[in-house]
Amino acid sequence: MKPVEFQVTMTPCSSQPILYDEAKCIGCNRCAAVCQCDILLPSAETGKHPVVMYPGECYYCGACVMACPVEGAIRLSHPLRNRAKFVPVRSN
């Protein structure tokens, strides 16, 4: 049987999908509670933001950001591949 070769290209991704603002976060852990992938774990220190345990598993659903009661306390850092813009092509 003839061997089959597969080629895989590297995809740029964000190693820090979740960014916290320590000055704004009140440590309520709502973001950790809502994450379906259990990427965020509550901090051992009361009042501190959760720990991003498995950044590579985040699929950027945004649920953690939407659940946060403090604007700007948490935000997503999308990888390059998610930032592509689709613009309409003009036909002449």
Note the residues at the interface with ligand SF4 (CB under 6 A).
17-18, 20, 25-31, 34-35, 37, 39-40, 49-50, 58-64, 67-68, 70, 73-74, 76
Q: How far is the CB of 24 from ligand SF4 (least distance, A)?
A: 7
C-beta separation of 85 from 40 below 8 A: no
User: Nearer Cβ to ligand SF4, position 37 or 80?
Assistant: 37
List the one residue out of 36, 20, 16 whose CA is nearest residue 28.
Answer: 20
Burial class (CB in 10 A: 0-12, 13-18, 19+), 74: buried
Q: How far is the CB of 10 from ligand SF4 (least distance, A)?
A: 21
Q: How far is the CB of 30 from ligand SF4 (least distance, A)?
A: 4
Distance CA 47, CA 82 (A): 32
